[in-house]
Each structure stands twice: as C-alpha cells, then as structure tokens.
C-alpha cells in the first residue's frame, strides 16, 4: 500500500515535470513553425543583416541582437558589484535590526511592475541622464563611447533602468548563497587570524558558483525585459557603441510592432526575432550552467581548495 | 444557505432566459485610435437597444485586419485602408466604411519661442529625413520670419511602435516629398532615417516636452486633451491651416467628390482652402455577405445610427465628424450588405 502511494506520488509529480519539458518544446516548435516564411526568405542572413524596413519587406535582426546584448551586459556590469555589495552587507555586516527592513526593501524592488520602472525612467531618470550628457566634457564627446547629441533616452538610460531591475534578483540569490556558506568556513578563517574582510572574502570564494549563478539569473532577466527598456532606449535600430545613442532591443521591437504587423512576411520576421531571442537565452543559460558546473567540479577535485584563499590572504 | 442556493439558481435561469430572448452579441476588433468613440457608441446604442451588445477589442489595425480575415470576429476596424493583397486574402468581399476622422499635428519644444510655428509638407519631410537639422535653417526662418529661431539641433521624435498615427503622417510626407516616398515610404511602421522613438502619443509628447529643440507628431485628440500647443501646416491650396475638428471635416468634405466606391481613400493633402492636410478616415471592415444574417442586420442598423445620430458624440471626444456628402454615399453602400 505504502509503496503504491509512493509510486503514484512519483508519477503525479513526474507528470508535472513533464509539462515543463512539453511547454519548452512547444514554444520552440511554434516559433520555428511561424518563422518559416522568414527563414525561407532570408536564411542565415537574417542574423547578420542590419536593415529593418517594413515598407520594402527587408528584415534583419542584427541591430536588435546588438541592442539586447549591449544593454544587458552594461546592466550587468553596473548591477553585479552593487548587488553583491548589498548581499554581503545584509548577510555579513548588517546589524540584526536593519536586516529584515533591508531584505524587505530589496524584495519590494523586485515586485515593482516594469511599466512603473519605465515611467520612472521617462520622468526622472531620462532628464537626469540628459543633464549628465549635456555636462559631459567636449573631449569625451568625441570618443565613440560618448558620441551623439544629449537626448537623455538611449543606451545609458536603458542600462541604468535594467541594472536597477536586476539588482534585487541578483542580490537576493547572492544573499541566500552567502547564508548557506557553512559557519565553519568563517570560524576557520577567524581561527587562522583573518580580518573580517578576509573572512568575508573566503566566504565569497566558497560561494562563488552560486554568485555566478545569481549574476547569470540577472543577465537572463535583463535579456528579456521589454516594457521599461522600450520606454527609455529610444527605439532606433542602429548599431552604435555610444552610450548616448538611441538603440533598440529584440523584445522591444516585438512589443512595438506585433499588433500592427498585417503582412505575413513582416509577422513571420517578428516571430523569428522571438526565435533568435529564445535561442540566445537557451545558449546563454547553457553556457552559464557549464561555467557553474566546471567551477563546482574544480572545487571537488581539489579537496584543499577552501584553504586556498587563506593562503592568498596571508600572502 | 439553502435559500441562497435557490436564489442563485433562479438568477442564473433568469439570466439564461434573458439571453435567449432575441439578444444579439457581436464581436469586433481593430484600431486603437477610434476606441474611445466606438466604446461610447456601443454603450449608447446598448441604452437604446438593451438586447444588443457589441464588444470591441482595440488590438491594433493589423490585428483587426487579421482577425476579420480569419473570421474570428464579425467586424474589423483599421486606421489605414486594406491593401489589395490583404483584401484578396479574405474569404469574402470586405467593405470599408469610414466612421470618424482623425488628424495628426506637429508639436515642438524650442526654448523662448512661444508663438505658433508654421510648417510646410516638404519642410516637415526634410526634417524627418534628417536634411534640415537646425532650427534656424533658412527654410524654417523663411516660413517664420517673426520667430527668433535658435541655431540649435533639431531632435526628431517619432512613434516607436507601429501605429495608425505614423501611417497618416508618413502618408502625408510621401505625398508632398518624392524623396521621402522613395527613401521611407508608407506603412504603420517605417525605417526612420533619423530620430528617436517614443512609445504612444504620451511617449512622443513626453520626449518632446522634455527635450529642448525636439519636434514630434501626435494625434489631434491627444493634443487637444492634454492642451499641448501645436504648429500649423500648409495645405495643398497654399493656405496655412491649424488642425481643428472643423478643418479636419473640411478635408473629408473636399475629398468626397473624388471618393472611390469602396471608400479606400487617403485624404491627406486634400484640396480646399480650409482643409487640414494631415487628416484621415478610420474604417470599419464588414463582409458584404456575412454568414450570420441576424448579426448582419443588427450591425447594419448600428452603422446607420453611428453615421447619423452617433456623430453628435464625436466633437465631445475630439473626433471630427463625417461630412454630410460622405454619410450619404455610405448609406447607399450599406444597402449592399446582404442581411437576409
């Protein structure tokens, strides 16, 4: 009787897990099916064409791929140090009285709908960014990184909004990871005469796979974020290295143009942008899995690894 | 508790009985621009005929055309006329019926210039092509000699998403500038040579009001409701006309004599000295021979009402009503729909 119950339970939950596989498979299948006209028409050129012209029916995804990757990487560069700093402070240094309010605040940030971030971006962040851009010295303005007129909307505003949206996710996961570091690790560090900073560094090293995972989670979120980005990025499909230039992302172009796309090839090209985004997310998630996997394997194969940072700290 | 259950059962039965008593429900989908007036019409018409319920989903013109083509809704609505290819793809003959008029106005933000600026079609086209880049460009100074236009850069703002508003605007620019027509063309979304994209009317006006030296375009209704000042535009008769409910209706009236029988007509750059040049119809899309005759009869009656009594709700919401000559033409076209 017991065994049958166990078996039923296993089948039952297994079926739910299967749903997940089926859903991902169905999404992939449907994306491919609906983008077939566009795949037949443009082939692989779709991935490296910069033109997006609904009037003449010429479509390419490169400008959107660039905008999505550039904005997400920038957001990560801004968000990762801040998020890890928050996580370290809350889990290691913060007075117990402050801990709960701070945790609550980060979780509140994560719960704000993205359209609200977008509105805040338009009315608060964009004017501030414009002021910074106007104030940027002329010498810098001639470098490719800061070229272009001070519009306010553009890559910098988008990266900042994205960073703000990513921080709560990354810092929450990083905080949990740090909390799961065995106390023995820190105690051992202190026993060896480590300062607080060195002990925390040892804990961070111990938790590094989890922290990389937290950062990759933030990256995944930044890749797919739509509404807040489209409201501040300027929506201009041009590839530019400039932080001040208006650019465009994949999810933004889908959201902006899907409702009015009546021509079959146009619609199919938009679906293919979705497919590109799907494939990219898949690849990036797999790569981060691989990274985490290789990191955990290396710690396992070297049993003395936890002692390593101590040696470094002493040196 | 038992009594409550009985009451609920009775209520459900009564509702079901009410529903079967000749009530007609019609679904439609399409353009967002006319949504406020359409929902006003549907609710007013429901007050007059309690048994008729018309539902409208404002999913965008492209979506409306698709849904009506797939016959998942009874009627569609679009801000741009369907193309020949789209009409061919539909399972039956689709008819266009103009319902109200809209217009697009240029808005701008130049510090220390408070007066109304004048624009011509070619000048607007050159600004949106990125050829006129400074506010003190000779072409702009010549049009506005009394305004002290600064030598600052023009920041071009357009709609980010595909929209009927953009369609009307680029349709006008393509008519007055051959270069704009060949380089950009006409569609709800185009490949803009320059500028930044704002999302929705509010996105465009937000960017324009925040950015010194910016120019953008919004729907007339939006400009009226939010009290943004906007520029005047030269029409094909050489007169500078400010957009208003009257000047937009005048554009439709002057276009009426050359109206094709299927009403698929662009009225941008219309002739007539009072006509505002960046005006357009918005259309309902109905099958000539609908499958459901009961719904067809109700819909035809409704459209007749909307084109006559219903027009009085236009001005209050900022839409321009149809001119009388267009209404007359539509009435005879409505007779073509097979209701039995």
Note the pLDDT tens digit of each residue in B60-91.
888 888 899 999 999 999 988 888 888 998 99
Query: What is the average per-residue pLDDT within B214-227?
Result: 90
Q: What is the pLDDT of residue B6?
A: 54
Q: Which residues from B are below 8 Å from A when comparing CB atoms?
A: 59-63, 65-66, 86, 153, 155, 160-164, 184-192, 195-199, 203, 206-207, 210-211
Q: Which two tokens stand for residue A109?
A: 């940030």
pLDDT score, position B4 = 53
pTM of structure: 0.81
Tell me what the mean pLDDT of segment B134-144 comes to: 94
| Range A270-277 average pLDDT | 95
Q: In chain A, which residues have their Cβ closer than 8 Å to the Cβ of B162?
A: 54, 256-257, 259-261
Identify the band that residue A268 occupies on the pLDDT scale cut at 50, 70 and 90.
Answer: very high
pLDDT at B18 over 50: no
Encode pLDDT of B288-326 as tens digits: 999 899 999 999 999 999 999 999 999 888 899 999 989
The answer to whether residue B13 scores a pLDDT higher than 60 is no
- CB-based contact A262 B186, cutoff 8 Å: no
Q: Which residues pair with A58 in a beta bridge?
A: A53
The residues that bridge with A281 in the sheet, in sequence order, are none
Nearest by Cα to B87 from B74, B76, B73 = B76
Work out the mean pLDDT of chain A and round it to a whole number: 88
pLDDT at A228 over 50: yes
* Residue appearing with tokens 């002692």: A307
Strand partners, A284: none
Q: Is the pLDDT of residue B284 over 50?
A: yes
pLDDT of residue B8: 57
The burial of B145, by beta-carbon neighbours within 10 Å (0-12 exposed, 13-18 middle, 19 or more buried), is given as exposed
Question: In this prediction, what percent of chain A has a pLDDT beyond 90?
Answer: 49
Q: B247 CB contacts (<8 Å, ≥6 apart)?
A: B241, B274, B275, B276, B279
A-chain CB neighbours of B174 within 8 Å are none
Select from A55, A56, A230 the Cβ nearest to the Cβ of B160: A230
Interface check A273 vs B, CB under 8 A: no
So what's the pLDDT on residue B20?
46
- Comparing CB atoms, the residue among A52, A236, A256 nearest residue B161 is A256
Q: Does A259 touch chain B (CB under 8 A)?
A: yes
pLDDT at residue B12 is higher than 70: no
Cβ-defined contact of B162 to A130 (cutoff 8 Å): no
pLDDT at A235 exceeding the cut of 50: yes
Contact state of A235 with B199 under an 8 Å Cβ cutoff? yes
**Highest-pLDDT range among A311-315, B4-8, B128-132:** B128-132
What is the C-alpha separation between A152 and A133, in angstroms, rounded? 7
Q: How far is CA A238 from CA A32, A235, A273, in A?
A: 26, 9, 16
B11 pLDDT tier (thresholds 50, 70, 90): low
pLDDT at B110: 92
| Residue A39 C-beta-side C-alpha neighbours within 13 Å | 11
Write out chain B residues lying below 8 Å of A259, CB-based.
Answer: 59-60, 62-63, 161-162
Which among A53, A154, A236 has CB closest to B195? A236
Share of chain B above pLDDT 70, in %: 94
> Are A256 and B196 within 8 A, CB to CB?
no
What number is the average pLDDT over the span B9-30?
65
Judge contact between A171 and A106, C-beta under 8 A: yes
Closest residue of chain B to A246, computed from CA coordinates: B196
Confidence of residue A298 (pLDDT cuts 50, 70, 90): low
Q: Tell me if B62 and A149 make a contact (CB, 8 A cut-off).
A: no
**Mind telling me how many Å the CA of B62 is from chain A's nearest CA?**
4
A56 → chain B, closest CA residue:
B185
Backbone φ and ψ of B185, nearest 5°? 90, -175
CA of A84: how far to CAs of A178, A215, B199, B288, in Å? Answer: 10, 9, 34, 64
Q: Chain B residues with CB inside 8 Å of A130's CB?
A: 210-211
Kindly list the residues from chain A whose CB atom is less than 8 angstroms away from the CB atom of residue B187. Answer: 54-55
- A262 vs B61: CB contact, 8 Å cut-off? yes
Q: What is the ipTM of this complex?
A: 0.76
Instruction: Look at residue B42 in the predicted model and tell me its pLDDT.
Output: 95
CA B104/CA B243 separation, integer angstroms:
8
Region B40-53: mean pLDDT is: 93
The pLDDT of residue A166 is 93
What would the two tokens of residue A95 be? 């007075």
Query: Higher-confidence residue: A264 or A84?
Result: A84
- Residue B73's pLDDT is what? 95
Burial of A8 (0-12, 13-18, 19+ CB in 10 A): exposed
Put the strands of the sheet holding B75-78 in their side by side order: B52-57, B24-30, B75-78, B279-287, B94-109, B214-219, B155-159, B196-198
Q: What is the mean pLDDT of residues B105-110?
A: 94
Position with higher pLDDT, A148 vs B326: B326
Task: Please determine, for residue B182, whether its predicted confidence score (pLDDT) is greater than 50.
Answer: yes
Instruction: Identify the H or E element spanning B102.
Output: strand B94-109
Check residue A27 and give its pLDDT: 94
Q: Using an 8 Å CB-CB cutoff, list chain A residues near B59.
A: 259
pLDDT at A76 over 90: yes
How many other CB atoms are found less than 10 A from the CB of residue B294?
Answer: 13
pLDDT of residue A312: 42
pLDDT over threshold 80, residue A305: no
How distant is the Cα of A28 from the closest Cα of chain B, in angstroms? 23
Across B251-267, b (16+ Cβ under 10 Å) vs e yields bbbbbbeebeeebbbbb
Averaged pLDDT, A167-196: 90
């Amino acid at each position: 009787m017991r065994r049958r119950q166990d078996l039923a339970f296993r089948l039952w939950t297994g079926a739910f897990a299967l749903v997940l596989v089926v859903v991902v498979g169905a999404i992939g299948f449907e994306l491919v099916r609906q983008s077939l006209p566009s795949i037949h028409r443009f082939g692989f050129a779709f991935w490296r064409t910069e033109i997006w012209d609904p009037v003449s029916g010429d479509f390419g995804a490169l400008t959107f791929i660039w905008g999505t990757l550039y904005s997400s990487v920038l957001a990560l560069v801004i968000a990762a140090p801040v998020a890890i700093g928050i996580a370290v402070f809350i889990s290691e240094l913060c007075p117990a009285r402050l801990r709960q309010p701070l945790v609550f605040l980060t979780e509140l940030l994560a719960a704000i709908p993205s359209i609200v971030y977008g509105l805040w971006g338009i009315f608060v962040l964009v004017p501030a960014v414009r002021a910074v851009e106007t104030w940027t010295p002329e010498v810098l303005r001639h470098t490719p990184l800061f070229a272009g007129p001070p519009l306010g909307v553009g890559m910098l505003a988008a990266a900042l909004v994205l960073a703000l949206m990513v921080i709560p996710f990354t810092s929450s996961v990083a905080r949990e990871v740090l909390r799961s570091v065995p106390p023995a690790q820190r105690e051992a560090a202190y026993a060896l005469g480590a300062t607080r900073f060195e002990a925390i560094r040892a804990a961070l090293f111990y938790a590094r796979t989890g922290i990389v995972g937290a950062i990759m989670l933030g990256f995944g979120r930044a890749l797919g974020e739509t509404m807040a980005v489209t409201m501040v990025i300027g929506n201009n499909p041009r590839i530019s290295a400039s932080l001040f230039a208006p650019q465009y992302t994949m999810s933004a172009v889908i959201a902006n143009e899907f409702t009015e796309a009546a021509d079959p090839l146009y619609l199919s090209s938009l679906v293919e942008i979705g497919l590109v985004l799907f494939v990219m997310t898949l690849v990036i998630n797999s790569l981060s899995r691989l990274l985490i996997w290789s990191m955990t394997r290396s710690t396992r194969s070297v049993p003395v690894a936890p002692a390593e940072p101590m040696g470094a700290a002493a040196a | 508790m038992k009594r409550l259950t009985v009451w609920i059962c009775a209520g459900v039965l009564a509702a079901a009985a009410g529903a079967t008593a000749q009530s007609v429900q019609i679904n439609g989908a399409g353009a967002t621009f006319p949504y406020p007036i359409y929902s006003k019409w549907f609710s007013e018409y429901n007050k007059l005929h309690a048994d008729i319920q018309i539902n409208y989903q404002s999913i965008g013109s492209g979506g409306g055309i698709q849904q009506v083509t797939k016959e998942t809704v009874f009627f569609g609505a679009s801000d741009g006329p369907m193309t020949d290819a789209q009409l061919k793809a539909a399972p039956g003959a689709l008819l266009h019926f103009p319902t109200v008029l809209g217009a697009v106005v240029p808005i701008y933000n130049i510090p220390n210039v408070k007066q109304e600026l004048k624009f011509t079609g070619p000048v607007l086209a050159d600004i949106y092509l990125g050829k006129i880049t400074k506010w003190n460009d000779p072409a702009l100074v010549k049009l506005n000699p009394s305004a002290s236009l600064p030598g600052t850069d023009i920041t071009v703002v357009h709609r980010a998403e595909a929209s009927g508003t953009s369609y009307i605007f680029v349709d006008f620019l393509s008519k007055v500038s051959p270069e704009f027509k060949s380089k950009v063309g006409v569609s709800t979304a185009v490949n803009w040579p320059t500028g930044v994209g704002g999302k929705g009317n509010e996105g465009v006006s937000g960017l324009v009001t925040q950015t010194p030296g910016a120019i953008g375009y919004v729907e007339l209704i939006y400009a009226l409701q939010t009290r943004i000042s906007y520029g005047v535009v030269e029409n094909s008769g050489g007169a500078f006309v400010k957009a208003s409910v009257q000047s937009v209706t005048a554009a439709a009236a002057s276009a009426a004599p050359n109206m094709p029988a299927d009403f698929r007509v662009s009225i941008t750059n219309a002739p007539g000295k009072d006509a505002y040049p960046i005006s357009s119809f918005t259309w309902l899309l109905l099958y000539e021979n609908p499958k459901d005759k009961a719904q067809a009869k109700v819909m035809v009656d409704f459209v007749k009402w909307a084109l006559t009594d219903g027009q009085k709700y236009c001005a209050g919401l900022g839409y321009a009503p149809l001119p009388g000559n267009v209404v007359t033409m539509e009435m005879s076209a409505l007779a073509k729909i097979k209701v039995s």
